[in-house]
Structure 1
Amino acid sequence: MYSTKENVNILTALLVKEGITKAVVCPGSRNSPIVHNLCACPDIECYPVTDERSAGFIALGMTLADNEPVAVCVTSGSALLNVAPAVAEAFYQKRPLIVISADRPAQWIDQQDGQTLHQHRALEPNVRKSVTLPEPHNDEERWHCNRLVNEALNAVRLNGSGPVHINVPITEPLFDYDVLQLPDERRTVLYPAVTDDTRVYEMAADFFCGEKPMIVLGQLIPEVVGNSLEAIEELKKVAVVIQEKLADDSICPAQPIDEVLKMISDDSAYRPDHLIYIGGTIVSKRLRQFLRKCECRMSIIVNEEGNCCDTFMHATDIIQGSAEEVIGIFANETEGVEKKDFVTLWDEVFDKAKTIRETIKPRFSQLLAVKTFHEKMREEAVDGELFYGNSSAVRLGNIFSDQYIYVNRGVNGIEGSLSTAVGYAVAHQDEEDVYCVIGDLSFFYDQNALWNGALSPNLSILLLNNGGGGIFHQLPGLERSPYRDSAVAAHHTASAEGICQTHDIVYLSAHNEEELYKNLDKFFNAEEGPVLLEVFTNAEEDAQALKDYYQAF
């Protein structure tokens, strides 16, 4: 049996026709007709999560698991505002997130009625589409409601995907459920335009005429990278291809990008004259600064929206197209192109940096913890997906990982990193293990991700705890502020042990190198999960270890 609310039933029916199979649902009375419908619908699996901020990121993690749209449903009032961080991340990662919010009737807004605020367009500009559904009373209003839902569901997949917001005003009574079946709603299907292949082929030919061509791959979903592996290998034969582990799904050591940039300094021989930037953000600040100094004759941006996202400040052309399609076109145009001396120059310095990296033995620090973690993964032949927190954690991952890294790099916030990993693990709990490497501030800020009845045993967390925001100890000049530790870096003495006890998570800890090696063995060979290994380090020692590392290059 379904709700008696027509707008809720129209929405539910179209979600089913769109093929939505997963919904994260949050508690509330105003959204209870929507939650009831989603739970009653045999085609949709629901995941209850109490904390709306965490719920948004858990849904985001689920979109990463299957590359399909996932709904998150919240009640009225400030509940909607709590999903804003996840929506912003989904917007900049181009993830298909469908936010469904219940709302109070319009006549009660600004009338001091409980849980009532302006919800229409509350998530703009970080959504592709915002709609507020009418409560239909006639056929024309039913048509209007159907059209708005169709518009929103089309927008979620358009131009490389993105979040949408469907706001659903619901009048009382709320708790009537006597509709036998959902209506047979008309689904309107959108067919997007395709890239102008002829012009892109011409641009590719022009690009490879350069003596110093470089291709930079920003964050890409692993399916795109996986489908493009052969094409990327072809491109590497004739151009320098720069890719962090956010855009590299091959099982090979991470490119030592920052290390090489330190080695070459301002040598103009390494500067490209033709540049193409494909994909999302890059972590390396050094790389951005280096490329902003390179005034290329041809500097191409590729994205599905056709936006002028001029990260390197010298754009000459924009290709509106998918990363996978454009990579393929450029790879096809490499036939007959000879390897440039520029490529050999970069290959040699990359090889030199990799050799130096292999010889470095860090002191006990977060650097050593992440290095040892990845060495142990290789030694144990561990097969699983990697999620990293932002800030220091992902930078360390980009040094030592030899597989693809998931990270909320759309807006680079610390919130939601753990929830995203939890969402992915829940969606794939019977298929693969998920490993989350995360800093202490990110972990404690998002600890409600573990307050989750669907938490699955395939989740393992490496918690890097140095008592605050470790990256603030790496910023030259900030040490002159007497408030750095207490206010800026948020110094603390918290531990995850009690949290693990509360949520029935296996807890391990390491305070030195010996305990690190011993408990990483237990971490990777735990008979039950979830499991968390908390590595306690000193923030000053962490900063010095990283400084020593880069001084070797």
Structure 2
Amino acid sequence: MDNGNLERAAMVMDWLGNVAGVSEVVVCAGARNTPLLVAAEQNDALTCWRHFDERSAGFFALGRAQSSGDPVAVVVTSGTAVAELMPAVVEAHYSGVPLVVVAGDRPADWRGGGAPQSIEHSGIFGTYAIEADLIGGGEADFERLVGLRERWTGRGAAFVNVCFSEPLLAGELTLPDELSFEDGDEPLEDVDFGWCDALLDEIDESRVCVVVGDVDEGDRRDVAAGLAKLGLPVWAEVTSGMQAEPVLHELLIGDLVGVLSQPALCPQRVVRVGGVPNGRFWRDLEDRADIAVTCVSPTGLRGLGRTAGVTAAAGDVMAFVGYWGDRGPKVVDHDWLKRMYQVGAVLRERVAELVANFPQSEVALVAGALDQMRSADAVYLGNSLSIREAQLVCDGELSGGVFANRGANGIDGQLSSFFGCGIGRDEAWGLFGDLTTLYDFSAPWMLDQLAARSEGTRWRVVVINNGGGQIFSRLPALASMSDRARELLVNDSSNVDFAQWADLWGMRHLLVADVAGWDGQALEDAWPMLVELKPDSAQSDAFWDAYRKVSVDVHEAVAGAE
């Protein structure tokens, strides 16, 4: 009986390769998606990875897409396997990383009946993915795929749901001409830059600060050149890679929380380019209606709950910054500029002194880890705390690609995305919290495949083992909570033996408890390695107490200087 299953599966794979721009597919074993797995393996234009865990597979695909710049597909079976991809789809939506989900489904007339492994696929991702539901086969499904590509910009998530009846492997993989997609169709690109003038015309304040979030790796040098030509103060998220650009070194400022607290330093407008930043100051802007905000990013999301005084546009960040650099700012408060540059330089010096004074603190250990990453061509920062601490101490060490999943600010799948990002690189480092690592426990399962296909890559997983959830220990609300409530908020991972976890996946283990405790010889080993940072909690607390005082003193001194 020829029900057209294999022909339909071949059509989907043809669409992925020739229209959607996909060259890599992550496949998860199942029954209902068998036709898709067979078609993917037979398609010479597609490279297949395999994974047993759909949630990790989705984030591995996100990492591959971040590193390559091209869409990556993940193929799953029916039922809750599709639901496991929701976190990755949400991340793709908010970060603008191109991800295509392809699911094998039961026949459409089974829907609503509660048959085994027959949940409702259609609409499962809601607003987070552009969907095509292939329920009939033939030209109708071909047109649905054509329509999907017209609606999907090549940013964020697309979902292709394919219904298959029994027998699953019926039909032929060959496609008739009328169901074949032309080779070489490129993903659609936003090429209309007329919005630049409209945005820049409203930026007429004399105190304008630029905030740089995540920027595509290939655009970073041109973005830095445009910002240097502009000459305004820049707060750059560590994941943007801007700290490694020499042309920006004098323009970089460190602590916008302190800047916002001083009227003499506070900007009148913040212009955000790239992804939504992780810094505390960004949340503080929710209550600062006196500060206008302009946002330019591939997604066009404003990244704030407030709407008053906020303008957001979807567009090419590199083009916008370059155009703005050529036009230049309308008016500049040069005394304010001088103060902003001064506060950035002084704060960097004082932080370096604190790191030296508290060598067993968590921030000092992170600074030591960054120093080891100087030769890395891929660095992945895997949770809010690691990003904030790296932000504080990074001083140009990270000259390679810097990656993170910060669209939805979750800890899901971080190690899986790291392994996806590092493929094809010489040296790949990831920095993660202890709970973040445990949350993606199965991610190193991919190491055998990575060793076979990414020969020569040195994998370094750095875990900050501080007892779990310590970013919540600094919440202001914690002081008013009971001991029991605090225990519920700050998770305890102190009983986890990361040496055993490393051994389970065939990784070497290195324990570092002091900034001077790095074993350079061990790091030369080509074998995958887990580096466990074990900070001293008393020194960590002392560091943060000292930093808060230093930050206040520096900002007050610069603000009050004549």
- Classify 1:538/1:409 alpha carbon distance in 2 versus 1 (closer, same or farther; 3 Å): same
Matched AA of 1:278: V
CA contact (8 A) 2:89 2:157 kept: yes
Larger helix proportion of the pair: 2
Matched AA of 2:363: L
TM-score normalised to structure 1 length = 0.87
CA contact (8 A) 1:292 1:314 kept: no
Secondary structure of residue in 1 paired with 2:544 = helix
Aligned partner of 1:80 in structure 2 is 82
- Classify 1:196/1:371 alpha carbon distance in 2 versus 1 (closer, same or farther; 3 Å): closer
The 2-side partners of 1:307 and 1:293 are apart by 19
- Classify 1:182/1:463 alpha carbon distance in 2 versus 1 (closer, same or farther; 3 Å): farther
Residues 42-441 of structure 1 mapped to structure 2, 5 A cutoff = 42-127=44-129, 129-136=130-137, 142-158=138-154, 161-176=155-170, 178-180=172-174, 185-187=180-182, 194-197=191-194, 200-201=196-197, 203-204=199-200, 207=203, 209-235=204-230, 237=231, 239-251=232-244, 259=255, 261-262=257-258, 264=259, 266-289=261-284, 292-293=287-288, 295-296=290-291, 299-304=293-298, 306=300, 309-310=303-304, 313-315=307-309, 317-334=311-328, 340-360=334-354, 361=356, 362-378=358-374, 382-401=375-394, 402=396, 403=398, 405-426=402-423, 428=424, 431-441=425-435
CA contact (8 A) 1:52 1:82 kept: yes
Residues 30-45 of structure 1 mapped to structure 2, 5 A cutoff = 30-45=32-47
The 2-side partners of 1:265 and 1:157 are apart by 37
Higher mean C-alpha deviation, range 472-481 or range 43-52: 472-481
Higher mean C-alpha deviation, range 282-291 or range 176-185: 176-185
The 2-side partners of 1:269 and 1:301 are apart by 24
The 1-side partners of 2:426 and 2:218 are apart by 16
- Classify 1:82/1:336 alpha carbon distance in 2 versus 1 (closer, same or farther; 3 Å): closer
The 2-side partners of 1:525 and 1:504 are apart by 17
The 2-side partners of 1:15 and 1:193 are apart by 20
TM-score normalised to structure 2 length = 0.86
Aligned partner of 1:531 in structure 2 is 529
The 1-side partners of 2:306 and 2:252 are apart by 20
Higher mean C-alpha deviation, range 115-124 or range 451-460: 451-460
Task: Report how many aligned residue pairs link the two structures.
Answer: 527
CA contact (8 A) 2:94 2:299 kept: no
- Classify 1:149/1:338 alpha carbon distance in 2 versus 1 (closer, same or farther; 3 Å): same
Matched AA of 1:425: G
The 1-side partners of 2:386 and 2:217 are apart by 20
Q: Shift in Å at residue 370 of structure 1?
A: 0.5
Matched AA of 1:550: R
Secondary structure of residue in 1 paired with 2:360 = coil
Secondary structure of residue in 1 paired with 2:239 = coil
Q: Shift in Å at residue 305 of structure 1?
A: 5.3
The 2-side partners of 1:449 and 1:482 are apart by 34
Unaligned runs of 5+ in 2: 452-456, 552-562
The 1-side partners of 2:162 and 2:104 are apart by 5
- Classify 1:247/1:310 alpha carbon distance in 2 versus 1 (closer, same or farther; 3 Å): same
% identity of equivalent residues:
21
Q: Is 2:444 the partner of 1:450? A: yes
Structure 1 residues 472-492: Cα deviation after superposition (integer angstroms, max 9, x where no partner) = 222234254222564322213
The 1-side partners of 2:308 and 2:530 are apart by 45
Q: CA RMSD in A?
A: 2.8
CA contact (8 A) 2:96 2:299 kept: no
Structure 1 residues 371-416: Cα deviation after superposition (integer angstroms, max 9, x where no partner) = 11123334xxx13211112131111111123336322111111111
The 2-side partners of 1:202 and 1:52 are apart by 43
Aligned partner of 1:16 in structure 2 is 17
